[in-house]
Amino acid sequence: MDFLLSEEHQMAQKMVRDFAQKEVYPTIKEWDRKQEMNPAVLPRMAELGILGINIPVRYGGQGFDYITLGLVCEELERVDTTLRVVMSVHMGLNSMALLQWGTEVQKQKFLVPQARGEKYAAFCLTEPGAGSDVVSMQASAKRRGDVYVLNGEKMWISLATKAHHFLVVAKTDPAAGHRGLTAFIVTRDMPGLTTGDIHGKLGVRAGSTGWVAMNDVEVPVENRLGEEGEGFYIAMSCLDNGRYTVAAGATGLIRACLEDSIKYAHSRSTFGKEIGKHQLVQQKIAYMQQWYDAAKLLVLKAGWMKNVGQRNTRETSLAKWYATDHSVKAALEAVQIHGAYGFSDEYDVERYLRNSKGAVIYEGTSEIHQLMQAEYALGYRVDRPLRCELPAYDAAYWQAAPSTVAA
């Protein structure tokens, strides 16, 4: 494993850093207070190619590797979590699922416009009464000839009111447990689909979070992703990719807390010297540096494993668990270093703390990941091969124009 970033990595990293710092940061407090998403964000991310950063060029993407995706997510969340959430949902939970499980027709119809940023995508798994316990979902899909009829409600769906395409998991066989779930590509223009926003969130306020309701939505059979009964496995593979982006983003949040705390420690003085000279402040800074470096290494390992085509469910889970837990700790320490100013929105650390809490809940709570790691260590959990594994990164394929690559 090579820890050096290539010129391509650094180029993508700088491009996204400049975008986030120069175009989003100046107004992020305003949109956070409004609890609304800046309408310019998604079109601008599309224009820069961020929404298809690691999708092959032949499918409308930029052709970068999985490590680049992690670097992009870190830079985005360094400014605000809402930016990274877009990548987790549009890219990690939807577009990469199409790349892994989609037919060639589905990729051309849905993945290409998503990678180009012409269409936005969401992922619908969680319900009002079913989160970590996926099999308890109530959404149903009944086949009637050439269509499936979907009914039910999905909750806490990022980009619910912005997305054009939804990857929805529903029950096709209630008696079959996890083998009775099936995945579908649902589009906003299908009759019976309605969406709405959720307000009053603790954090991620400048982002779009909402609900998706389905009332006799007729979905063509050709919009089924994978085979009937594969929905659980598809959803779990989606989470492998989404958790990778969350881990990378949380690493960026730790870095934000660290960098802001260092800046404040140099500017604020007490008892005749800058507070960075006080040992207990130094201890907090040292811990944040340790947490950032450890989280970054875990994310890089998961990204490298994706690049070489190795199954990384355990490693991605560990990265997500560690990075998100420690982003909360880093935010708490950053607020403490800033003192009374950290308790107000005059400084960004207050927003970091609010934003950090969501990631230890969504895409697998910290408790779920703790249990997963214990089961791996004890030998109770073993990853079995999937029918469609996430493809390893091949630069020649990823960056080739459509006309030069065989179907």
Residues with catalytic roles? 363
Torsion, Cα 252 164 48 260, to 10 degrees, reads: -20
Q: Which residue type, as a one-letter code, is found at position 49?
A: G
Q: Per the structure block, which two tokens stand in for 341?
A: 């100013």
Separation of alpha carbons 83 and 86, rounded Å: 5
Helix (H, G, I), strand (E, B) or coil at 181: strand
**Residue 185, number of CB atoms within 10 A of its CB:** 23
d(CA 210, CA 200): 11
The DSSP symbol for 130 reads B
CA torsion, ordered 318, 397, 12, 237, to nearest 10 deg: -30
What is d(CA 297, CA 320) in angstroms, rounded to the nearest whole number?
12
Q: Cβ contacts of residue 32 below 8 Å, gap of 6+?
A: 80, 205, 206, 345, 351
